[in-house]
């Protein structure tokens, strides 16, 4: 028998733009304040029954007009590192809310969220959050947007509308027509913008009303489920519960699951086949992850819902993978699909590359995808704490920049840390993925610059000086003259004139009678030059350049220009121009 299930809503958006806080306001809990780095790291779920929406919306909505039983929110992380989790969320979601900080506007992750929704053709609205931070805004707790908007002064309204027009412009760039939700006549043709404040609750009733309206009007036909079909879900987390052992927190998005059902789930080595021992449902309006021991035992759960599955043999189960209710007909086909997916994410190779460790398959997949996009080679990607074995494997890598382990939300075991310190293996640990990768990239950048600088020490760099008038101390063998340094010079550097003719070599630099290795711009020093005679090959008042060998010029041109000062870059171009009069491909 077919029935209308609860539509699944996904929240997407940039880091810190207010996804979890928006859901908080609906849910009335404080999950956001306890999230690591204020970023939700695992997909969570919240059931909001129609009754609650009716209470929040007051006169804005009449529940008698709706057949949809409520909304089931999946709160997905907002950073681009979570593309794979969001994509999975996108494929599950019937509707989406893109949360944008109205004052910050669209960020890279906002655009990425739109790409995901376009790929999956998921209807969405934009929640323009943090209207309470608009200059002059007069907050009115939990009021519908249109009511609180009427209470604002003219300038504040103009400020708000300016910010909304900016968002309209960004959406237009991506090919979406949009307007403030109350001005939209056809939500299939236009994206609705709902101004909200997750802090004060303003606009939240409107957001819920628009979501429930979209579900009722545009996707009701797609919400029909066969109550007797095999259940399909996604494992959000695997948790140890007192008295129950390991349990699965699951979003069931299709069909049904019953106590006694055979299920197949993703496992560390092989897909796990087990039986449902019991099903626990959280109270509505309570986040699965926050529900503690207050569960209700049920015999059967229908999509869409968040459910805790209790079953034996879950030790090697992997969070982030599908759960399927199976029978003899479909068991083998589903087993092969699950095995293929696990092999895709858990990387074990003999190639050069870094080692990645994470808590769940979902977070591991997110990191692996992000690293691949950045062309960072991975030797091994695995679940679990960083062990001595991981460090020993990292030691076998030849590239010093890849003798590295990235550890997400896992411990570094004591013996592993000791081995890493002894062998010079760098371990990056963090519980926020984007920060972990950012730290690693920053370290790589710093190391590469140090390598370049070291290499540059042996490269003859651009230099230039002027021979001062009346400062000839010796004419030849060697010539000794007073100079003004225009760009750094060192002893041993070869010299040329403005026509590219070889002059000789700097033998010694003296500053007030003391020998120095290098002179800097602005210094007035004496130099001895082997080769020329003053008055013949060189003259007082003449400009001389460092004669950079072509091989060194090529290294500077291709690899090291970013390490030169602006003055050095300019003088390098002058030297190259002189050299290319005789050899137009010099240094290229």
Catalytic-role residue among 14, 79, 170, 324: 79
Asked if 282 and 288 touch (Cβ cutoff 8 Å), the reply is yes
Vertex 204: Cα angle to 58 and 289 (nearest 5): 110
What beta strand segments (E) does 137-184 contain? Answer: 178-180
- 572 CA to centre of own chain: 38
How many beta carbons lie within 10 A of that of residue 35, not counting itself? 19
Inter-residue contact 56 to 141 (CB < 8 Å):
no
User: Do residues 2 and 229 touch, judged by C-beta distance below 8 A?
Assistant: no
Residue 389, CA atoms < 13 Å, CB-side half-sphere: 5
In what helix (H) or strand (E) does residue 506 lie, and over which residues does it extend? strand 502-511
Nearest to 568 by CA among 484, 456, 486: 486
Q: Which of 377, 373, 435, 370 is nearest to 404 (CA)?
A: 377
The tokens of 184 are what?
Answer: 């939209």
170 carries an active-site annotation: no
**Residue 195 contacts residue 203 (beta carbons within 8 Å):** yes
Beta pairing, strands 191-195 & 224-226? unpaired
Tell me the Cα Rg of the chain: 33
Angle (CA) 424-425-430 rounded to 5° is: 135
The tokens for 155 are: 């300038």
b/e sequence 327-353, b meaning 16+ C-beta within 10 Å: eeeeeeebbeebeebbeebbbeeeeeb
**302 is written with which tokens?**
């229908």
CA 296 distance to own-chain centroid: 37
Encode 205-226 in three state secondary structure: HHHHHHHHHHHHHHCHHHHEEE
Strand partners, 427: 405
Instruction: Using CA atoms of 385, 16, 8, 80 in order, give the dihedral in degrees to the nearest 10.
Output: -60
In whole angstroms, what is the distance from residue 135 CA to residue 496 CA?
63
CA distance between the termini of the chain: 74
What is the C-alpha to C-alpha distance for residues 303 and 291, in angstroms, rounded to an integer?
20
Q: How far apart are CA 259 and CA 247, in angstroms?
A: 14
295: its two tokens: 């569960």
Residue numbers annotated as active site: 79
């Amino acid at each position: 028998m077919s029935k209308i299930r609860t539509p699944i809503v996904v929240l997407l958006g940039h880091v810190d733009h207010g996804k979890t806080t928006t859901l908080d306001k609906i849910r009335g809990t404080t999950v956001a304040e306890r999230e690591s780095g204020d970023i939700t790291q695992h997909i969570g779920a919240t059931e909001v029954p129609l009754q609650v929406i009716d209470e929040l919306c007051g006169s804005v909505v009449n529940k008698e007009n709706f057949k949809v039983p409520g909304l089931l929110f999946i709160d997905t992380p907002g950073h681009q590192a979570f593309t794979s989790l969001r994509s999975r969320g996108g494929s599950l979601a019937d509707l989406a809310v893109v949360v944008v900080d109205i004052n910050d506007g669209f960020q890279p992750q906002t655009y990425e969220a739109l790409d995901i929704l376009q790929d999956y053709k998921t209807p969405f609205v934009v929640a323009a959050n943090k209207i309470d931070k608009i200059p002059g805004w007069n907050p009115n707790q939990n009021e519908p947007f249109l009511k609180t908007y009427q209470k604002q002064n003219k300038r504040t309204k103009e400020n708000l509308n300016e910010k909304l027009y900016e968002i309209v412009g960004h959406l237009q760039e991506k090919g979406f027509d949009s307007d403030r939700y109350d001005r939209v006549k056809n939500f299939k043709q236009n994206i609705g913008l709902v101004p909200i404040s997750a802090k004060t609750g303003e606009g939240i009733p409107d957001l819920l009303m628009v979501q429930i309206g979209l579900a009722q009007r545009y996707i009701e036909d797609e919400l029909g489920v066969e109550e007797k079909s095999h259940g399909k879900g996604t494992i959000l987390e695997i948790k140890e519960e007192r008295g129950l052992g390991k349990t699965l927190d699951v979003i069931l998005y299709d069909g049904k699951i019953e106590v006694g059902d055979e299920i197949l789930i993703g496992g560390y080595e092989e897909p796990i086949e087990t039986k449902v021992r019991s099903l626990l449902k959280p109270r509505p309006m309570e986040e699965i992850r926050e529900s503690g021991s207050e569960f209700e035992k049920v015999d059967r759960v229908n999509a869409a819902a968040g459910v805790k599955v209790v079953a034996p043999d879950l030790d090697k189960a992997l969070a982030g993978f599908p759960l399927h209710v199976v029978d003899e007909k479909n068991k083998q086909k589903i087993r092969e699909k699950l095995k293929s997916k696990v092999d895709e994410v858990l990387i074990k190779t003999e190639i050069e590359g870094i080692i990645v460790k994470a808590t769940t398959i979902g977070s591991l997949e997110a990191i692996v995808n992000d690293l691949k996009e950045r062309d960072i080679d991975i030797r091994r990607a695995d679940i679990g704490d960083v062990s001595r074995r991981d460090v020993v494997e990292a030691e076998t890598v030849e590239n010093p920049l890849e003798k590295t382990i990235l550890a997400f939300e896992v411990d570094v075991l004591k013996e592993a840390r000791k081995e890493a310190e002894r062998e010079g293996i760098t371990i990056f640990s963090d519980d926020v993925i984007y920060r972990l990768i950012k730290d690693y990239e920053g370290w790589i950048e710093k190391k590469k610059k140090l390598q370049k600088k070291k290499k540059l020490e042996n490269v003859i760099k651009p230099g230039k000086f002027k021979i001062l008038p009346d400062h000839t101390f010796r004419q030849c063998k060697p010539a000794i003259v007073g100079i003004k340094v225009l760009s750094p010079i060192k002893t041993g550097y070869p010299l040329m004139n403005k026509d590219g003719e070889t002059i000789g070599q700097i033998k010694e630099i003296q500053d007030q009678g003391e020998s120095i290795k290098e002179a800097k711009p602005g210094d007035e020093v004496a130099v001895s030059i082997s080769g020329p005679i003053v008055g013949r090959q060189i003259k007082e008042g003449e400009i001389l350049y460092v004669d950079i060998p072509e091989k060194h010029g090529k290294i500077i041109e291709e690899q090291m220009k970013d390490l030169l000062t602006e003055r050095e870059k300019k003088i390098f171009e002058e030297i190259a121009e002189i050299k290319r009069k005789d050899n137009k491909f010099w240094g290229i």
